[in-house]
Chain A
Amino acid sequence: MDHCHCCSSAFQQVSRRTVLKRAMGLAATALAANMFPLEMLFQSRAQAASNAGKTLVVVFQRGGNDGLNTIVPYSDPQYYVMRPRSTNGGIGILPPGSGDGSGLDLTGSGFAMHPSLLPLHGLYTSNRLAVLPAAGFAGSTQSHFTDQDTIEHGFPEQRDGWLNRYLAAVPAAGSSTLRAAAIGDDVAKSLRGTVLVPSMTDVASFSFARLGSSKAALEANLRAMYAQDPASSTTNPARSSVHALGPELFNRVAAIEGIGAASPQNGAAYPNSTFGREMRDLAHIIRSGLGLEVATVDIGGWDTHDDQGAGGAAANRQAGRLADFSGGIRAFVDDLGPLMNNVVVMTCTEFGRTVRQNASGGTDHGKASAWFLVGGSVKGGVYKGVAGWPSSLTEANLDEGRYIRPTVEFRDIFADVLVKHFGASTAELGAVLPGHVHTPVELFV
C-alpha cells in the first residue's frame, strides 16, 4: 500500500491527537508504523480490548419493512385472514411447499422466510442467522422519522447517535485509519455526535488524483485555510464543525486512495445495486485493515403502502427490496469468509406494518418488525422474546387491534452486541445506553 499522500503534516497532527485522545493501544500495523512515532504505538492498555479487530455493520431498512411478510407465521390460519394468499389475490406468502412463491421454512419454528430471502436461508439452516420477528420498542409513533431517530439515538430524548456514543466511550483497541464510516450521502444519525465520522459513497471515485500537478498546492492551501483558528476567521455558529471537516476530508481521501478498488473474494456475487456496491466497498475496507470498527449502510424502499406483492409470480415492491437486501448481505458474508468471525451485521427497520393489508394491496405503518444478525459469535435461531409470538393474529391479540406488539426491545439487542461482540464494560454500556436495564436476548454464544 502506498501511503505517501497521508503523510502530510496536517494529517499526522490530526491523527496523533486522535490517537492520544483515545488512549491508543498496541496493534502496530505496518501502516501505523509508517505514520506514527514508535513510542506512541507502545502506550498499550493493560490488556488487549475485546473490540480488537471487531467490526459492526448496521444495515438500516429505511421506510419500515413489513416484518410479517419477511418472517411469515404461515402456521397461523389467522395470518391468511388478515392477508389472503397471493393465489387468492392477497399479499399472503404461501406456506412452504405450495409451489411458486412459497415461503422458505424455518424448520420447527412455525415461521417461513419470504422466498426472496433465499440468500439468507442458507445462513439460517447453518445456524448462523439470528432472526427476531418482533423487534421494536414500546412507545413507537408510526412516524418514520421519529421512530428512526429513536432507534438511532437509542432514546427519544437523546440527540446524538448510539454508535457515536460508543466511539466516544470506548477506545479503539489499536490504531485505526478509519475507525467508523457512514456509507451513504450523509452520516446516519446513529453515527452523529461528538466524534467526527466520515461519510462516503463509491470508494473508487473518492479521490482527487485527477488534480494532477495542482493537487499538492491545492491541498496545502485548503489545509492552511482550515487550520486557521475558527474563532478568529469567522463568526459563523457552525465554524468549529466546519473547520474540522477539511483536513478530515483529505485524510479520508488519502486513506481510501491507498486501498484501491474493491475486489470481491470467494466468488461473492453482489447485487448490481447501490446497496450491493456499498456492501462490496465495506467488505473491501474491512479486509484492507484500516481498522474499521463501526459502519452504517442504508437500504430504502420499504414503505409499501401499495402493491407490496408476495412471492414468485405475485412478487412486487417488497420482493425486489428483499432480494437486494438478502443478496447484498449474503455476498458480504461470502466475500469476507473467515473474517466474518470478527464481523457482525445487524439489520434494523423503524417499524413493521399493519397486520391487515389495505385495499391497495399494501400495508400501513405498524410497530414491531423483523431484525436480523449474522456473523461473529451470533447464535442462529428465531428469537421470539419472553412474551412470545401471539398464538393467533386476531385483533384481540394485536396491539391496538392492528399491530404486532414488540417482544424484543431494540436496546437489548444493541446491548447484547456491545457486551458480547465489543466486550463493553458495564460502565461503557451505561455511557452508550444511559439508564437502560439490559435484559440479555442471548444472541451470542
Chain B
Amino acid sequence: MALVKDEQNSMLSKIAESMWLRPGRISVCVALSLWAMQGLYISVYAVYAHEGGTHPVSGSPSASRHSLLKPVRPVDSTLPGVKEGATISPASESGLKPSKKKKAKVTIKTPATESQRSSVIEQTAPAQTKMEESTSGTKPASSIPFGAPAMATMMNGSAAMAAASPSPGSAIAAAAPGALASSVVGGPSTPSNKSIQRLSAGIPGLTRVISTPLPPETIATPAPPLDPPTSGLPAAPANWFGYHVLNRLTFGGTPNQLNTVSHMTAAQARDWATGYMKEQLGLDPAQPWPTNLHSASLLPPANPIVDTDTDLRLAAAQGAWKKDDPEPTVLKPELQQVQDHDLIRKTYSRRQLLEKMVYFWDNHFNTDYRSHFRGQYEVYENQAFRAQAYGRFVDLLIASGKSPAMMVYLNTDVNKKENPNENYAREVLELHTLGVDEQGHPAGYTQADINEAAKAFTGWTVPEGSAPGFRFVSSRHSPGTKTVLGQSVAFDGSGPTEGERVLQILAGHPSTARHLAKKLCEYFVSEAPSSALITEVASVFSDSGGDIRKVLIAIVTSPDFNNVANYRSLVKTPLEYVVGLYRNLGVWSSQEPIRRRLTVAGQGLFEMPPPTGYKEKSDHWLNTHVLFHETAMAYEATIPGFGSTVRFGSDTSAGQTRLWLRNLGLRTESEVLGFLLNLTTDRVATATEYQIYLTTLRSGGGTFNLDNSGTEAALDRTLASMLTNPRYLYQ
C-alpha cells in the first residue's frame, strides 16, 4: 500500500523553512489545528530566530544583556479561550500583522479499512505568515523556541543552535525540513476521512484536521501465516537484521515496519535495514557508508526527515501548556506535560534514531524536574540535545553545562568564588566525561581537578525570571588561573569562557572517549561489548573530535552490531518496554497510561533524582517490581477492565481486535498468529509457546472463528500472553 507522501503535507515545515534563520528577525508562523473531540481549537506556532552567536547555550551573552530579554519573548503560546471556533488573530496579539498567504496541499489517505478503499483529500490551506524585525530593538538571546509547539519549529530552533555553535561539524541531521523519508517505513498517521470532511466543511482557512487522538498508521500487507515451529531452540529468522535494526535503532517497530520486514528475504532485509540506518543518520541510502570516520573531515550535511504528523500531535499536546505567572510570555508546562510531549516523540517520531539519541543525552546529562519545578527548563534542554544529538560531544557538553536545568540541578547557579560549590564539577568529571574505572576510581582526575573546575564555573547562573537561558555574573567569578587535568585555564572575569574551556579539556580527554564509547555500545549493541568494539568506537570518537554521527556509524557498521549473536540480546528498560509496546501494536490513544506506568515502574522521564541517570544494564531492571509493572502494562493494553483503555488496531474496528484482524483479511489461526507474533517477537516462538497461543486462541469456543464473539476475549488473552512472554523482554 502506498503511504502518504510527506512532502505533500509538510506545509508547516516548508513555511518555517522559507523564513528561517533570518538574523535578528522574529518569525511567526501561524497554523491552525483543530480537533474534533473538543470543538475547534486554534494553535499559534511562533518561531523565534535570532542572530547567531548569542545563543544562551552555545554563545555567551552578558548578564546585562540578558536582563533586557524578558519583555521581548515571543508570543508562542496557544491562546486560551479560543475554543468553540472563535476567530482570532494571534498575530495581532504579538504586534504582528499577517502579510501573506501561503497555500499548501494536504494529502491525506485513510488507513487500511475493511473495504480497502482509500481516498485523497486536497485542501487549500492558507497559512498566515509574517516576518518582522523585533520591535524592541533588543536581540533575543534566549532564542530556543521552547514554547513553540511543533516539531518543525523545534527542529528549526535546533538549526539555529547548530548555526550558532562554534563547531561547523555540529550541523545536525533532520534539522531542516524538506526531504523525503523512505516510503517503506514509518507511515504517518492519517485522520479519519469523515471527520475531516465534516469539520472542514464549515471552516475556512483550515490547515489540517486531526482527531483526538490521531488514528493509526496505514500498515503494509500483514505478515505471512506462521505454522507451528519444530521443537528445540528456535533459530533467528533469516531476515533477522531487519528486525534487529528496528529493535535497536528505534523504540520498536511499528506494525507497518514489521509487516514490511516480515516478507523480506535475508538479503532484502539487510538492504532495507542498511538503507533505513543511513536514512536515520541523515545519509544518502544510495551511497556507501562514509570512510572518513577516523578523521576530522566532515560528513556530508545530514538529510532531514520530515514528520508533520508528529508535529501536529506535539502541537495538540502543547495546546494545554499554561503561561507562567507572572511571566505570561513564558510557557510553563507541568511535569506530566513535558513527559507526554517527549513520549509522543518517542512513540511516533519518524526520526527514531535521533529520538533514541535524545534520550541517551538527556539521560547521560540527567537533570530532575523537581530540582527547579520549571517545565520550560527541561523542554529547553531537551531541545538542545535534539539539536546536537548527532553533533559534536563538546557542544552537547556545553549545552548541558549551561542549561538552566543543569545549573539549578547541580548548583552551578549558586556557585560563588568565596567557597566554590563542587557539585557540578564533580559530576561532570565522574559522570559526563572522564568517568570512573571498574573499581570506581576516577579515570584520570583528582579532587584538585574538581576544586579547580568548580572555580572556573563560578559566576555561571540562570537568567532572572523564569525564561530559560544563561547568565554570567562576573562579581561571583573566582580570580586567578585555574589548572585542570594539567592544563592551565587563563583568568577571564568577563565571560563564561573559563568554564567552557574546562569542558573542552574534559571532552578531549581519552577517558571521555572511552567512557562514551562504552556507554553507547552498551546502549546499542551488547551489555558486555567487546573490548575491540569499545576501542574502535573510542578511537573514532577521538579521531573525529567527538563527532557523534561518525561514532554511531562506527557502531552500526561494526562486526558486533552485525553479528546475529547480538540479535535480541539486550533486556529492555521499562521505557523501551512500554514505548515499544505502543509502537509494536500501533497504539494511537493517549500517552497517559505509559507515562503513569513509567513513573511507578521507576523510570519516569525528567524525574530521576540522582545525576547518574537511569541505568541501561539488565541487573537494574530485572526484578519483580519492574516485571510487575511491565506485565501490568501488557494487561492494561489488552485486557478490558484491567486499567485504562489503550487503543490500537484500525479506527474502524471499535476497539475490537477481531474486527481489526478481519479487516486485514486474516482468517485462520496461522494467519492470526503469524501477524501477532510478527508484532511482538519477530515471529520467533518455541513449539511450546506456539501451542500455548493456539490453545488460548481457541478458548473462545472450542475452535477459532473470528465471527464468534467469544473470540474477542480469546484474542485479548493471546496477545496478552505474547506480550508477557519472557521473549518479549528482549530487544
Interface residues of A (CB under 8 A from B): 62-63, 141-146, 149-150, 156-157, 182, 184-187, 192, 198-202, 206, 208, 210-212, 214, 217-218, 221-222, 224-226, 228, 231-239, 241-243, 245-246, 248-249, 252-253, 300-301, 303, 305-307, 356-362, 364-365
Given contacts A221-B717, A301-B609, contact A186 B440 (CB under 8 A): no
Q: List, sorted by A's number, 18 A–B pairs whose CB atoms are closer than 8 Å.
A: A144-B610, A149-B440, A156-B439, A185-B601, A185-B626, A198-B624, A198-B625, A199-B625, A225-B689, A225-B725, A226-B726, A235-B233, A242-B622, A243-B726, A249-B631, A306-B414, A364-B421, A364-B426
Which of B418, B423, B568, B721 is in CB contact (< 8 Å) with A221?
B721
Question: Any chain A CB within 8 A of the CB of B436?
Answer: yes
Are A300 and B696 closer than 8 Å at their CB atoms?
no
- Is the beta-carbon distance between B721 and A225 smaller than 8 angstroms? yes
- Alpha-carbon distance between A200 and B701 when the two chains are bound, in angstroms: 38
Interface presence of B411 (CB below 8 A): yes
9 closest Cβ contacts across the A-B interface?
Answer: A185-B602, A146-B440, A360-B414, A198-B624, A199-B625, A305-B423, A359-B418, A359-B416, A359-B419
**Which A residue's beta carbon lies closest to that of B630?**
A249
Cβ–Cβ < 8 Å partners of A150 in chain B: 440
Q: A235-B565, A360-B411 are in contact. Are A156 and B418 (CB under 8 A)?
A: no
Given contacts A182-B625, A301-B609, A365-B422, 17 further A-B contacts (CB under 8 A): A141-B442, A157-B439, A184-B602, A214-B713, A214-B720, A225-B721, A228-B686, A231-B233, A234-B568, A238-B571, A241-B618, A246-B726, A305-B423, A306-B411, A359-B416, A359-B420, A360-B411
Stretch of B82-90, B111-119, B639-647, B652-660 at the chain-chain interface: B639-647
Residues of B within 8 A of A307 (CB): 414
Nearest CB of chain B from residue A229's CB, rounded to whole Å: 9
Counting chain B residues whose Cβ lies within 8 A of the other chain, the interface size class is 35 or more
Asked if A186 contacts B621 (CB within 8 A), the reply is yes
Does B491 sit within 8 A of A, measured CB to CB?
no
B146 on the A face (CB < 8 A): no
Which B696-711 residues have C-beta < 8 A from chain A? Answer: 696, 699
What's the least CB distance linking A107 to chain B, in Å?
34
Q: Is B625 touching A185 in the complex (CB atoms < 8 A)?
A: yes
How far apart sit A182 and B727, CA to CA, in the bound complex (Å)? Answer: 25
Q: Which residues of A contact B699 (CB under 8 A)?
A: 217
In the complex, B81 has a CB within 8 A of chain A: no
Q: Choose one: A143, A202, A237, A249; the contact of B440 (CB below 8 Å).
A: A143
* Bound-complex Cα distance A311 to B721 (A): 55
Complex formed: what's the CA distance from A306 to B411 in Å? Answer: 7
Specify which chain B residues have a CB less than 8 angstroms from the CB of A145 in the assembled complex: 430, 436, 440, 610, 612
Is B535 at the interface (CB under 8 A from chain A)? no
Complex: how many Å from CA A187 to CA B717? 30
In the complex, what residues of A have CB within 8 A of residue B639's CB?
Answer: 211, 214, 218
Contact of A358 among B420, B442, B527, B610 (CB under 8 A): B420
Q: How far is the CB of B420 from chain A (nearest CB, A)?
A: 7
Q: Which of B588-644 contact A (CB under 8 A)?
A: 600-602, 609-610, 612, 618-628, 631-632, 635, 639, 641-643
| Cβ-based interface call for B189 (8 A) | no
Q: Which residues of B contact A218 (CB under 8 A)?
A: 635, 639, 717, 720-721, 724
CB-based contact B623/A245 at 8 Å: yes
A221 to B727, CA, bound (A): 13
Contact present for A300 and B415 (CB under 8 Å): no
* Interface pair A359/B565, CB less than 8 Å apart: no
Tell me, rounded to whole Å, the shortest Cβ–Cβ distance linking B21 to chain A.
38
Interface residues of B in 393-416 (CB under 8 A from A): 410-411, 414-416
Residue B268, interface by CB 8 Å: no
CB distance from A340 to the nearest CB of B (A): 27
Q: Which residues of B contact A359 (CB under 8 A)?
A: 414-421
Which of B411, B440, B643 is the one whose CB lies under 8 Å from A305?
Answer: B411
- Considering the chains assembled together, what is the distance between the CA atoms of A232 and B255 in angstroms? 28
Q: How far, in angstroms, from A238 to B648 measured CA to CA in the complex? A: 31
Among candidates B232, B430, B622, B727, residue contacting A245 with C-beta atoms closer than 8 Å: B622
A362 and B420 CA atoms in complex are apart in Å by 10
B362 interface residue per 8 A CB criterion: no
> In chain A, what residue has the closest Cβ to B628?
A249
C-alpha spacing A253/B568, complex, angstroms: 28
B624 touches A249 (CB 8 A): yes
Q: What string of 1s and 0s marks CB contacts (under 8 Å) between B44-68 and chain A?
A: 0000000000000000000000000
Q: With A and B bound together, what is the CA distance between A231 and B686 in angstroms?
A: 12
Q: How far is the CB of B392 from chain A (nearest CB, A)?
A: 27
Closest to A217 in B: B717
Tell me if A's interface is mostly helix, strand, loop or mixed: loop
Closest to A231 in B: B233
Given contacts A206-B628, A225-B692, A253-B628, contact A141 B441 (CB under 8 A): yes
B725 contacts across to A, CB distance below 8 A? 222, 225
Asked if B94 is at the interface (CB within 8 A of a chain A CB), the reply is no
Contact with A along B15-29 (1 / 0, CB 8 A): 000000000000000
Q: For the complex, what is the distance from the CA of A241 to the CA of B623, rounded to whole Å?
A: 9
**CB of B167 within 8 Å of the partner chain:** no
Q: Which residues of chain A are near B688, meaning CB under 8 Å?
A: 224-225, 228, 233
Q: In whole angstroms, how far apart are the Cα atoms of A231 and B234 in the complex?
A: 10
Q: Is the CB of B440 within 8 A of A208?
A: no
B571 and A201 contact, CB distance less than 8 A: no
Chain B residues 347 to 371 lying within 8 A of chain A, measured CB to CB, are: none
Q: Which residues of B contact A141 (CB under 8 A)?
A: 440-442
What's the Cα separation between A145 and B692 when bound, in Å?
Answer: 44
Q: Which residue of B lies closest to A144 (CB)?
A: B610
A236→B626 CA distance, assembly (Å): 19
Shortest C-beta distance, B441 to chain A (Å), equals 7
Q: Please, which residues of chain B bring their CB within 8 A of the CB of A182?
A: 623, 625
| Chain B 711-731 near chain A by CB (<8 Å), digits 1 or 0 | 001001100110011110110
B569 contacts chain A at the CB level, 8 A cutoff: yes
Contact present for A217 and B569 (CB under 8 Å) = no
Closest to A252 in B: B624
**Is residue B488 within 8 Å, beta carbon to beta carbon, of the partner chain?**
no
Which residues from chain B contact A356 at a C-beta distance below 8 Å? Answer: 419
**For A225, what are the chain B residues with a Cβ–Cβ distance below 8 Å?**
688-689, 692, 721, 724-727
Q: Is B447 engaged at the interface, CB distance under 8 Å to the other chain?
A: yes
Q: A199-B623, A243-B726, A360-B421 are contacts. A236–B696 as well, Cβ < 8 Å?
A: no
* Cα distance A69–B724 in the bound complex, in angstroms: 49
- Give the residues from 656 to 710 in chain B that come closer than 8 angstroms, CB to CB, to chain A: 686, 688-689, 692, 696, 699
Asked if A211 contacts B635 (CB within 8 A), the reply is yes
Tell me the bound Cα distance from A379 to B696 in angstroms.
Answer: 60
In the complex, what residues of B have CB within 8 A of residue A241's CB?
Answer: 618-619, 622
CB distance from A256 to the nearest CB of B (A): 10
Residues of B within 8 A of A144 (CB): 610
B569 contacts across to A, CB distance below 8 A: 235-237
User: Can you name the residue of chain A whose Cβ is closest to the Cβ of B604?
Assistant: A185
Q: Which residues of A contact B625 (CB under 8 A)?
A: 182, 184-186, 198-201
Kindly list chain B residues whose C-beta atoms are within 8 Å of the C-beta of A231.
233
Q: Chain B residues with Cβ under 8 A from A156's Cβ? A: 439-440
Instruction: Tell me the smallest distance from the CB of A151 to a CB of chain B, in Å.
Output: 12
> Complex formed: what's the CA distance from A142 to B639 in Å?
49
Q: How far is the CA of A186 from the CA of B622 in the complex (A)?
A: 8
Bound state CA distance, A356 and B527, in angstroms? 42
